[in-house]
Amino acid sequence: MRSLLAIVFIPIVSCSSMEALAADSGAGLYQTHCASCHGAQLQGAQAPSLLLDRDSPANDEELAPVIRDGRPGKGMPAWNDTLSAFDIASLVQFVQRRREENSAEHLRQADMEFVRSLPRGLIRSEVQAFSVELVAEPDKPTGIAVLPDGRLLIAQERGGLRVVESSGLQLGAIEGVPSCQPTDFFHRVLLGVALHPDYRQNGWVYLTCGNSETDRTGKVSTEVMLIRGRLRAHMWVDSQILVRIPTNSSVGAPIAFDGRGHVFLTTASAAGLGTGPESKIPGNEPLPVATLLATPPQDLTSPNGKVLRYNDDGSVPTDNPFIELPTSYGAIWSLGIRNAAGLAFDFERSQLWATDHGPRGGDKINRIFGGHNYGWPVISYGTRYDGVAFTKETEREGMDQPFVTWTPDIGVSALAVYRGRAFPRWNGNLLVGSLVKQELIRIAVADNRVVLQEVLIPHIGRIRALAIGPNGEIYVALELAQQGVVVRLIPKS
């Protein structure tokens, strides 16, 4: 009888309680399996936001099949072999609850709260104290450049080049900036902005933008364009399209100059954006090395997954390392890149540096040399997004090891080499941004090795761009939920 009573008096759990239980379970599953790509707050990182942003599945009926079956053409793996039906339902509940919390008004309020929560007062690093000062609140920024007079040029994700006085006065958008129209997964119009090293003499401003075009058969192709022009009376003039690079995504294309008449930019690799091995591996086994070597980042006929070098007029230098190979893409400077979100040239060391997103783990910084192979996707310290290894190797003869690597990944993003008077004890250091950890990191380098790695500002936000001003002040461009913020680091004694 006692056993029967035990059965009769089982507590009844309401439907709403079950939904809450599922959502709570989904929160843990999300952080384990999804946050490294879509961001800890669903705001997007290496993959787009899940907060009803553009191509996000809109409801339960759309979201559950995407989690279960993936989107192989866009880098989303299928989770049906890893997650149970209850797990998938829990993830759907979690995402929908977070979406309700992220309405347009809620996001606007969140952005306002973020601005109010920016660090106040003195911040102490190991060798230099500083403060953080709000400079501007543009649309979502993708690049920043500082003019010799201290004004800022801010490239915005949805297009438009905004000018901001050093005082913070926003002067509005430059008129006549090329209007690109990318229709790929990321829809980013402007990807980067940089000044020619001889800007004072020639006035050239360089932009990268994503663009899509449809041919007569209806086929859509995406490209990254390198464009230059000049600023005159708040107008974009003398515009020239220097280079058109066929690619598969407007994910980012940072720009750097070496001061010797060359301009560098990076292209993301198909192997990291949905048409590559980590989204196509059947079962739980890595792909054969021969298959990995045949992917675009390792293919010298493809411009994707590369660092490219051009003359500053868009022509291809005759001394590029692979130009003599008859079928190679002549602009290739180095290969084996996944998604280099940051690029910077140190003029004093004559050294090019690049950050590179790993997949799940394996974020890194590379010292870039002509003709070198950085290994993706043949060697990696990361895994597929479902946690399964896609390669057996972390090193291989003829492929460079990273200068710095992070696992778990931090969502490594923008990069700058500090040279300036404002922070003299940071000269030659690397400044690195993070999208997932949302940190500003300082890396001290000596004798070609890391001697210190320090988080200057934790939880500052999703860092999209870094720039050094004429007096050595440091500008940091942050992406928020609906807009952007630019802050300035000011040295303090």
3-state secondary structure of 24: helix
Res 72: pLDDT: 73
Please give the full DSSP string across 439-477, using - where no structure is assigned.
Answer: -EEEEEEETTEEEEEEEEETT--EEEEEEE-TTS-EEEE
Higher pLDDT, 180 or 194: 194
| Residue 169 scores a pLDDT above 50 | yes
CB-count exposure of residue 355 (10 Å: 0-12, 13-18, 19+): buried
> CA 299 to CA 246: how far, in whole Å?
14
Using pLDDT thresholds of 50, 70 and 90, give the confidence band for residue 9. Answer: very low
3-state secondary structure of 252: coil
Q: What are phi and psi of 369, to 5 degrees?
A: -125, 150
> CA 192 to CA 274: how far, in whole Å?
23
Q: What is the pLDDT of residues 411-451, one digit of tens each?
A: 999 999 999 999 999 999 999 999 999 999 999 999 989 99
Name the most confidently modeled range: 5-9, 176-180, 216-220: 176-180
Asked if 384 contacts 407 with a C-beta cutoff of 8 angstroms, the reply is no
Res 8: pLDDT: 38
Asked if 412 contacts 433 with a C-beta cutoff of 8 angstroms, the reply is yes
Nearest Cα residue to 265 out of 218, 321, 227, 213 = 227
Asked if 449 contacts 428 with a C-beta cutoff of 8 angstroms, the reply is no
> CA 91 to CA 70: how far, in whole Å?
14
CA 221 to chain CA centroid, Å, is 21
| Residue 163 scores a pLDDT above 90 | yes
Asked if 209 contacts 241 with a C-beta cutoff of 8 angstroms, the reply is no
Higher pLDDT, 273 or 365: 365
Q: Which residues pair with 322 in a beta bridge?
A: none
CA 162 to chain CA centroid, Å, is 21
pTM above 0.85, yes or no: no
> CA 64 to CA 211: how far, in whole Å?
31
| Residue 36 scores a pLDDT above 80 | no
Using pLDDT thresholds of 50, 70 and 90, give the confidence band for residue 315. Answer: very high
Please give the full DSSP string across 350-419, using - where no structure is assigned.
Answer: TEEEEEE--SBS-EEEEEE-TT-B--TTTB-S-B-TTS--S-SBS--TTSPPPSEEESS---EEEEEE--
Asked if 282 contacts 309 with a C-beta cutoff of 8 angstroms, the reply is no
Q: What are phi and psi of 22, to 5 degrees?
A: -65, -45
Edge-to-edge strands, sheet with 404-406? 343-346, 351-356, 363-368, 404-406
Mean pLDDT of 288-296: 91
Using pLDDT thresholds of 50, 70 and 90, give the confidence band for residue 67. Answer: confident
Using pLDDT thresholds of 50, 70 and 90, give the confidence band for residue 134. Answer: very high
Asked if 442 contacts 452 with a C-beta cutoff of 8 angstroms, the reply is yes
Res 107: pLDDT: 77
Angle (CA) 227 230 231, round 5°: 130
Average pLDDT, the chain: 87
Using pLDDT thresholds of 50, 70 and 90, give the confidence band for residue 283. Answer: low
> CA 136 to CA 200: how far, in whole Å?
25
Place of tokens 């191509």: 55
Domains and CATH numbers, the chain: 2-108 (1.10.760.10), 150-408 (2.120.10.30)
> CA 446 to CA 427: how far, in whole Å?
11
Q: Which residues pair with 452 in a beta bridge?
A: 444
